[in-house]
Amino acid sequence: MFVHGQASQDAYAVWFSPFADQAFRAAPPGVGAEIRKRLQEIALVAGPLSSEAADRINSTLRLEIAGYIVTYVLSDSDRALTVMSITRFTSQGAAANQ
């Protein structure tokens, strides 16, 4: 795991899997900055109430950030947000409704 910082002492740490770290580093600088900002915002508010259900069912959460789908897991026991993957997202637009 690669640690990408902790916004404050009370915030969850943000960890990246090797696969996600590679994709994060390959993203354009502006996109990387936006992804980092949004993940740190989530890490600041994550806590026992927000991750209790995720810990029980080991669920992977998804979020679209700057045209990328970011999948992550919150762990209250580790006090960490672990990014599992970052994938470029292309909207299907009108074709998706056909």
Name the E strands within the chain. 2-3, 13-16, 61-65, 68-75, 80-88
What confidence score (pLDDT) does residue 85 get?
95
- Sketch out the chain's domains with CATH numbers: 2-90 (3.30.2310.20)
pTM: 0.75
Tens-binned pLDDT, residue by residue, of the chain (98 aa): 445 555 456 788 999 999 999 999 999 989 999 999 999 988 888 765 554 555 555 678 899 998 999 999 988 788 889 999 999 987 655 544 44
